[in-house]
Every structure is written in C-alpha cells, then in structure tokens.
A and B are shown apart, each in its own frame.
Chain A
C-alpha cells in the first residue's frame, strides 16, 4: 500500500521533468501575473477630459478650476460656448465630463442656498464615468472647503465629504489585485494541470494499462494530485516573494494562514479537475467544460467585482465556489492582517468543499465499467 505511492509519484515527477513546455511555463506564469497584470488591469482612470462651463466667474469657481487643472486625473479642454455646445462635445465623444457652475454660485453659497453644480459624465465606459464623477466631486469639495476655512466660515460642505481608504491607504489598485492574481495562479495550476494529465493518459490509452493492475484508486488519484499541490504552493510562495520584491507588498497577517487556505483551495480545485477528467471522453470536451467553469470562478467569486453587488440568487450560487473563500482569506490577511480565528467560516467551507470534491473524484474514477 504505502510502497506504491512513492513509485507513482516518482513517475509523475519524471514525466513532468521531461515535458518540454510545462516546467518553463510554470516559471513564467507567476512572473507574468505579478509583474505585468497589475499594470494592465489598472482601474485608476487618468486623463479625463473636462469641459469647464463657468457661469459664476467668482474667486471660488476659479479656485475650483485650478484644483481640477492641477490634478493628474483631469485635462481641461479649451472650450468657449454654452451648455448645449458642451453637450454636443460629449455626444461626439470629444470630452468625458462637463462641469457646469451655476451663476452666482459663490454668493448664494455664502447665503446658504446655492444651486448645485452640475456634473455630466459620459458613462459609456462605466468605470471611467463613475471614477471621473467621484474625482471631480472630491476635487470641487476640497476647493470649497479650502476657501471656507480661509475665510473662517462654517459651511455644510466641510462635513459633507470625508474619504478614507482603510487598509489600502493609498487606494492602490495593485494591492487589491495582487491577492486576486495569486488566486488566478492557483486556479490555473490546479484546474488545468491534473485535467490535462489525466486526459492525456486517457487519450494515449496508458490509463488502461494502469487500470488492469491492482493499483488502488485512491493511490492513483493521490499520485496524480500530490505533485500539483506542491507545485501550486511553491508557485504561490514565488508570487508572494515577487509581490514583496517588486511592490513591497507583504501580508499584514500571518503567511501561514494564506498557505493553509491556499492548500485547501488546491485540494478543492484539483479534486474538481479529476472529477471532470473522469467523466470526460476527450481532451477537447474536458478543456472546454473546464474553461466554462474557470470563467465562472473568475467572474463570480469576488476576484474582480464584489459578490455583494451580485443578485441574491447568484450570491447563493457562489457558496459552492471555492475561490470565493480563498480570495476573502487572501485579501483579509494581506491587507487587514485578519487572524485565523476570524476566518474560521472561510477555512471550514474550504475544508468541506475539499472533502466533497475529492470524494466525488474518487467515486467517479472507475477501473471497471
């Protein structure tokens, strides 16, 4: 019993080593994900072009304009015309944002009942539109606050907006994305490698030669999976080192918690991959179905967009998606320094899913049919 497993694992490792592409690809993958992806998936919006419609022409409106102009985010467009013409510019796609200050804004503000400033954004690119509006609101508010403080005035605006990015103080998108990219790394390794391995054995007929021997189902399965668990954890460690070296990002909490969650997650995903391989007839079929699931995992597990903003039923579905839990653990530990005992729910769910998927994998592997 115990003597066969090392023999099978040795065979898997020898085959892995002899593979021309795989080992190199696995070194490239974390480098790509950590070095390049944070740059290209940047969601900070820059160079929002602004049409400035000033009907007030007061010292306050001038101050607001200079605040906008001095920001990295905005490009003031040379413009002379009325609101209709500005809207036309927006229609034509020549500008992203119109800021229109109503007449007598400063005077009315001091009187306490000013008309509001109108912000019109082109929201075809929803992120850019929303971000533009948010930045513009903050910038304008800061100009008003500044003026009010200088004059020793109390305005409502002072208490109107306070923005604070907890846990990611600079609001750096990279810090938010890096844990997600590490999950993608684990997801790709543990979903595709065991799947491709078993499907190759099926298509070459080598699995039949194994099935006609007395090798145990569990042993065969473990021999397939253990090397990939190790590979996945080594790659994660490598990615974490890169994130530290390049971006100075280190977990605020314990790395052990990250590895525990990552290990359970690897068990889940590889169990899932083996199940899929067991019920697939061809490589094509298996890969296509796996792509479908990996896409669901990436889009529905809070990796890119928050789960809380999904429809209720979709949120319920995500409870069986292992990435949902591991992404929460990684982000919390990395950015907030959350402790293991506060993450018991995620860890427990990962453990339950790991048992479930691997039981399924062992049941669906049939030596005799």
Chain B
C-alpha cells in the first residue's frame, strides 16, 4: 500500500496562543479506512478541516489527492466528500432534492446523476422516503443521508467527522457496513469516532492527544504495543496523558 493519497508534514493550527493542532505528520494510503481518534478537544476536527480546504494551516505542508492544502483548496474539494460532525443538509428540502443538489454542484450530468441517486437510494433502502422532507427523518437516517450526499460524486476520499454520534447500535452497524462497502469500491475513508468498537473496523488508526499524534498503527499492532486487550484500553492509556480540558 505505497500509494499515498493524503500526506501531511508538520501541520499546525494556532488560534491566538492556543495550538489546536501541533505539528502532526502522517500519510494515508489509497483505499484504506483511516481512523482518526482522540478525546474531545484533541484537535481532530481542526485537522480535518485543514485537509478539506475549509481552514488554512498556520504552519506545515500537506497534499490531499495530489493537491496542496494551502493553495489548491478548491481542487481538493472536487475530489473529496465531507460529512460534518453536525448534521448540515437542508431540512426544508426532500431527500432526493438534497442528493440532486450536491450531485449538481459537483457537476454531474443529469442522466449520470439520476442513476447514481437511484443506486444510493436503493442501497440505503430509502426509495419510499425519497420525497420526504429531511426535517421529518430520524437522526440515524439523516446521518445515512449525509453519508450518501458526501459520496454522491464518487470522490477519491471521504472525510467523516463522528458520523455515528448519537446513533443507535443497529444503525451504527448498518452505517459501518456502508462505510466498508464504499471502501471496498476503492474510496479512501478518513473517519473520526469515539466508539472504540468502531476503531477495530479501521485498517489503521492514529491517536491524537493535545494536538499531537501519539500513536499510529493498525488496531492489532496498537493493542500489542500498549499491551492492551482492546482499543478501549489503548485509548485510556493515551488519553489519560492529556493536559488539556475541553
């Protein structure tokens, strides 16, 4: 897996005196599920926003899908999908209208788009709800819809910021089936989560503590390294070192 799709070196974001992200460096390989873990306030979202071209880094360099994160933000945006921590689709549009809107923004042709919409609706068993207003959907469904929208244009990389926060266990499991299916098609998944059982599904994991990456390896290697039985224990050992409070 030498094909790097995200490569970051010394990436830093400072808000005044507060260093939210402190010189992080890592590579993500094409097609893998990359878990980006850390306690609340560790700097995960800030780092992710820099990778997505929403935020300028204070220092450091990086490329995403071959484009520079500082100067080619708009080119990166053509090749990625992003699902924010907060549900951010239009409540007053229907399921179908939301998907079509974003498909249209990414420049998908009408025919290609309507096929893709059908395919996605089918995959999520959403067909009968396609004309429902998004505001009427339960949270778990909204999250699935947000994932669909993030992948409507078949991007190279999908960034998922706590996609399963507040979602019930069954829907969570379904959600991860979706993620795995998408990864199997060759899409790289960059995901943050607080659920350690989900961390086990990742190919590789990075652990952020106080703006720095403290560990980066596959789940099994991390367990070995920290002499832990599961990811939960790995998380506890690392997160306990945190000085920062939310």
Q: Which residues of A contact B (CB under 8 A)?
A: 3-4, 7-8, 11, 14-15, 18-19, 204-206, 208-215, 367-369
Contact = CB atoms under 8 A, between A and B. Distances in A.
B88 A204 contact: yes
Contact of A11 (B53, B87, B93): B93
A14 B105 contact: no
B101 interface: yes
A213 B54 contact: no
B91 interface: yes
Interface string B80-92: 1010101111111
Contacts of A213: 77, 102, 105-106
B197 interface: no
Contacts, number: 76
A245 to B, nearest CB: 35
B56 A369 contact: yes
B97 interface: yes
B55 interface: yes
A208 B55 contact: no
B84 to A, nearest CB: 6
B206 to A, nearest CB: 21
A14 B91 CA distance: 12
Most buried by B among A4, A210, A368: A368
B121 interface: no
Given A18-B92, A213-B105, A214-B105, A208 B53 contact: no
Contact of B88 (A3, A206, A368): A206
Interface in B62-98: 73-75, 77-78, 80, 82, 84, 86-93, 97
A208 B87 CA distance: 10
Contacts of A4: 104-105, 107
A215 B91 CA distance: 20
B52 interface: yes
A11 B56 contact: no
B104 A368 contact: no
A16 to B, nearest CB: 9
Contact of B54 (A11, A14, A15, A211): A211
Contacts of B78: 214
